[in-house]
Structure 1
Amino acid sequence: MPNVNTLTLSGTGVAGVQIPQIGLGTWPHTGQASTDMVAMAIANGYRHIDTAQKYGNEDAVGKAVRASSVARDELFITTKLINRYFGEVAIVREGIEHSLQETGLDYIDLMLIHWPNPQLGNYVQTCASLAQLVETGLIRAWGVSNFKPAHVQAVADAGLAIPINQIQVDPLSGQPDYVAANAALDVVVGAYSPTGRDVNLSEFPALVQAAERHGKTPHQIVLRWHVQQGRIAVPRSAHAERQRENLDVFDFELSDAEITAINALDNGSRARLDADEYGH
């Protein structure tokens, strides 16, 4: 069955856009491998595909989307803007049109700023430009990625409401203060690397025990942990069985005690890359 569980995005220039809570991450796959992975995911029920200009696979993702028998308006495509296209409306529009050309699509559902690149001093202006460009129909919604609380606050101080901020969140790096800072401004949190990097989830009793109670895998428990707390999760998988498992997290509910136990796995670590120092 297709994944129909969605959240509603709102914010400056955006109202009522529905985003599926589980999406397919596509980095670092490119070329035919990426096309095959996305085509398999759509066949397995995915309706949200996450790509980026920096990934170098917008063309491969677009190829799979265009070839799919699923109607375009039933699919949700997220991509991300590199800093070459930061600034005033005309420059940001050029970036959107670049992604449209690469994907071969008529519109993008969600365009994120990939990194704030604060040294450039124009991420707030870029947010304003994206919000304004929603009215063109080239994008349905906008948002940001890798924005720290200070970056999110700077955008809010400019009178702009961010619809979504995609950051690294997983059980070991829960970044609760970052999550809370977004929640305080009604910014939906998207989680990339949602089950962690190079982590064996079966090593954590809190996950294993919850999996046994619910007849799921530890991986599914973590995705449910995200979904139940109102986040968007974009795990990557090129395996059919795992793809289907990733979507099969909407028929059970974690208890408050189970969520608390998973939250307790947080070791205080931050994202792998510092958004004040890294960007593109």
Structure 2
Amino acid sequence: MASTTTIPSITLNNGVTIPQLGFGVFQIPPSETKAATLTALELGYRHIDTAQMYGNEAEVGQAVRESGIPRDEIFITSKLNNNAHAPGADTAAAAQRTVDDLDIGPVDLYLIHWPLPGVGSYVETWKVLEQAYRDGKFRAIGVSNFHQQHLTRLLDETDVVPAVNQIEVHPYLSQNPLRQFNSEHQIITEAWSPIAQGAVLDDPALAPIAEELGRSVAQVVLRWHIQRGDVVFPKSVTRARIAENLELFDFELSDAQVDVIESLNADRRRGPNPEEFNWVP
């Protein structure tokens, strides 16, 4: 049964709108991706986040085509693999593979997955994506895991301002300075690892808030993301959890509750540091 929840949308800097809550398919095996995506769409999600690196773009596309939902009602994000913007790589061909594998027409949003500063090619890679964007392959383009200095280079040396910057954000890594930089340049922040890979679920500071609101800790943290204005896309393969993660829009955190969550920031990552991460498959 589909949810009656209305998910708010955010307008990107080129006028394209994106649902603020989506469904992530990171670490969902390809064999399970179509079923999980169909479940999410059935329950009311209209934004799916995938990537070449996840190996499940084709299955996401199958779910979209088989869902019976009009294509223009579903927002699909994918990301360029790290091996597609090393020097000499054919970035344009890799981007086209995403379009072909999803097989849903123009992709709504396409991101450079990592800046790979040791490779040093992200500016040239971005210029290739700019052309693909102008050619209509993507409705919007953006980046993932970019820090201020990476974004500054793009802003100084290229033409299209990234529509989003998808970064690790959770109560232990609130990323406020980078989020502020994004905002100042009309770049929407998207939050990956929104519950710190589950680490926040047992935090003793959050349990009283969840109890007071009659919600789960996960819902409290996801609501914190929503109230900050970030785009978020929790991942699950369990129908009950997928449904629970959708129920974020019929309650609000108080200022005092937000302050408690903000106080947990320790600038502590759960994933790689983009300043050091240069892995190319």
The two structures, once aligned, show a CA RMSD in angstroms of 2.0
Structure 2 residue aligned with 1:142: 141
Query: Does the C-alpha gap of structure 1 residues 271 and 187 become closer, same or farther in structure 2, counting only changes over 3 Å?
Result: farther
Structure 2 residue aligned with 1:52: 51
Query: Does the C-alpha gap of structure 1 residues 79 and 226 become closer, same or farther in structure 2, counting only changes over 3 Å?
Result: same
Structure 1 residue aligned with 2:11: 8
The Cα shift of 1:272 comes to 2.0
The one-letter code sitting in structure 1 at the alignment partner of 2:204 is F
Contact 1:2 1:46 in 2 (8 A): no
Runs of 4+ deviating beyond 6 Å: none
Query: Does the C-alpha gap of structure 1 residues 87 and 127 become closer, same or farther in structure 2, counting only changes over 3 Å?
Result: farther
The Cα shift of 1:20 comes to 0.8
The Cα shift of 1:159 comes to 5.1
Aligned residues: 274
Structure 1 residue aligned with 2:163: 163
- Tell me the TM-score normalised to structure 2 length: 0.90
Contact 2:173 2:265 in 1 (8 A): yes
Distance in 1 (CA, whole Å) between partners of 2:104 and 2:136 is 12
Contact 1:175 1:269 in 2 (8 A): no
The one-letter code sitting in structure 1 at the alignment partner of 2:178 is Y
Structure 1 residue aligned with 2:230: 231
Distance in 2 (CA, whole Å) between partners of 1:60 and 1:192 is 21
The one-letter code sitting in structure 1 at the alignment partner of 2:162 is I
**Within 5 A, what are the aligned runs for 1:200-211?**
200-205=200-205, 207-211=206-210
Distance in 1 (CA, whole Å) between partners of 2:18 and 2:83 is 27
Contact 1:2 1:47 in 2 (8 A): no
Is it true that 1:180 corresponds to 2:173 in the alignment? no
Structure 2 residue aligned with 1:26: 25
User: Mean alpha-carbon deviation: is it higher for 105-114 or for 248-257?
Assistant: 248-257
1:118-144 per-position Cα deviation (integer Å, ceiling 9, x unaligned): 223221222233233223221110100
**Within 5 A, what are the aligned runs for 1:1-280?**
1=4, 3-10=6-13, 15-86=14-85, 91-158=90-157, 160=159, 161-205=161-205, 207-270=206-269, 272-278=271-277, 279-280=279-280
The one-letter code sitting in structure 2 at the alignment partner of 1:203 is D
The one-letter code sitting in structure 2 at the alignment partner of 1:177 is P
- Tell me the TM-score normalised to structure 1 length: 0.91
- Once the two structures are aligned, what percentage of the paired residues are identical? 38
Contact 2:5 2:247 in 1 (8 A): no
The Cα shift of 1:87 comes to 8.2
Query: Does the C-alpha gap of structure 1 residues 3 and 33 become closer, same or farther in structure 2, counting only changes over 3 Å?
Result: farther
Q: What secondary structure does 2:99 align onto?
A: helix
